[in-house]
Amino acid sequence: MFAPLRVDGFVRFTSQPPTSRIVFAIRIVTPIVTDAEGRRQAGGVLAVGNARLPFRLDCSHWAASDYEHQWKAGIRRIADGALSSALVTAYQGDRDEPHTLWGIWRDDDHVYVQARSVRTPGLAAPFDPSSPYSYVPSCVPVCEYAPPATQWRVELESFFASAFELRVPFYTR
């Protein structure tokens, strides 16, 4: 990050921003452990704006590196112009339990994030965790008769800067 420093009427750049914070990131934050029921899992966190959203990463059917690869691909979809994407956090394999993911939507100025789940019974094809995008609608779902789902929002520019670790200059007058 760069921040200008005004010295004798000239603007000079420093390597420290006035404030630095993560606006968007998804990470695995604990080691993989096996619980009492024999399930392999790890802890993860999604940072969206000021919110830190913890989640349990199911590693019984998919490796941590598989999740990280899918997250990069999901974020890249938004960067490439897709209106929606997904970040899988719990792939349950063939079990009759819901798969969980973060749905992501973009508009002209913002990125929105919501927790979502996908149930496998009744699906025409098996759930593919490396390509979950068809399970996220192309726009943020809104229901006329129900309260809105909890969602988080960040500016699109900040999303890209954080997600791709871009260095954005800060200017002062």
What is the rounded distance in angstroms from the CA atom of residue 87 to the CA atom of residue 72?
A: 9
| Secondary element (H or E) of residue 71 | helix 64-79
Cβ neighbourhood burial of 45 (10 Å; 0-12, 13-18, 19+): middle
Instruction: Decide: 132 and 120 in contact? Cβ < 8 Å.
Output: no
pTM value > 0.85:
no
Using the predicted structure, report yes or no on whether residue 11 has a pLDDT greater than 90.
no
Share of the chain above pLDDT 70, in %: 77
Task: Please give the pLDDT value at position 142.
Answer: 60
Q: 110 has which bridge partners?
A: 155
The mean pLDDT of 103-114, rounded to a whole number, is: 91
For residue 92, give its domain range: 63-163
Residue 43 has pLDDT above 90, yes or no: yes
Residue 113 lies in a domain: yes
Q: For residue 104, is it within any domain? A: yes
CA distance linking residue 37 with residue 19, whole number of Å: 44
Q: Indicate whether 109 belongs to any domain.
A: yes
Predicted confidence band of residue 172 (pLDDT cuts 50, 70, 90): low
Other C-beta atoms within 10 Å of 84: how many? 20
Q: Is residue 10 part of a domain?
A: no
Domain count, the chain: 1
**Does some domain include residue 169?**
no
Tokens of 67: 């999740």
* Position 128 in a domain: yes
Answer whether residue 120 is part of any domain: yes
Residue 34 maps to a domain: no
Q: What is the CATH number of the domain that holds 127?
A: 3.30.2450.20
